[in-house]
Amino acid sequence: MTTIGFVRHGTTLWNKQGRAQGNSDVPLDAQGIREAEQAAARLCTENWDVIYASDLTRAKQTAEAVARAIGKVELHVDKRIRERDCGRIEGMTEEERTATWGPDWRSLDLGLETRERMVERGMSFLDEVAAKHEGENILIVSHGTFLKQLLTYLIPEIDTQTLLANTSVSCITSGDDGWKLEYLNCTKHLEQIHK
């Protein structure tokens, strides 16, 4: 059985400001670093064989914290698991988008990457990695929108309105009839930070 854990990166300043991060290379803020350390403390108690991370700094920082805590585990970086390309809205808040294009800005073609394209590159990556590490426990550190699209494609019964929390962990396992959801959006490791 192959197990895949999906981790969203820690919090950034742009998360707090409500800015579309997309492919912008925004680092973790102080809270995000603490969250990554808490996730690492949790994940090092579990059995992970290999880690893959997006090449964007916020995901790499999170993955590096986890890799340090686990110890002898390979960390690979792959740009196919980057966040959604946000086109012309990248770096903007909802308020700024509305001021620029009006309240119906979502209906305009502003160059946002489509769900289909995200799933296509995500599945290209996932099929390759799952075949390479068959029977292993694979950890993937990536981004909220990208991971949500990939998970809802793999497990259609997942509520598409689910927002993945920063450093949340979701887990799927392979079976005879495809992928099975073990848990979704788990943040038990953050309970001490947010008390």
Is 47 within 8 Å of 136 (Cβ atoms)? no
CATH code of 77's domain: 3.40.50.1240
What's the mean pLDDT in 109-128? Answer: 96
User: What is the pLDDT averaged over residues 2-10?
Assistant: 98
Res 152: pLDDT: 94
Q: Which two tokens stand for residue 80?
A: 């196919």
Q: Choose, from 83, 113, 143, 189, the residue flagged as catalytic.
A: 83
| pTM, two decimal places | 0.94
Average pLDDT of span 5-16 = 98
Q: Is the pLDDT of residue 193 over 70?
A: no
pLDDT at 74: 96
Res 177: pLDDT: 84
Residue 149 lies in a domain: yes
pLDDT digits (tens, 9 = 90+) for 23-73: 999 999 999 999 999 999 999 999 999 999 999 999 999 999 999 999 999
- Domain range for residue 110? 3-190
Q: Give a yes or no: residue 24 inside a domain.
A: yes
Report the C-alpha gap between 169 and 183 in whole angstroms. Answer: 8
Q: How far is the C-alpha of 193 from the C-alpha of 152, rounded, in Å?
A: 28
Q: What's the domain count of the chain?
A: 1
Average of pLDDT values for 9-16?
97
Catalytic residue check, 182? no
Q: How many CA atoms lie within 13 A of 30 on its CB side?
A: 0
Q: Examine residue 195 and state whether it is found in any structural domain, yes or no.
A: no
Active site residue: 9, 35, 143, 189, which one?
9
9 is catalytic: yes
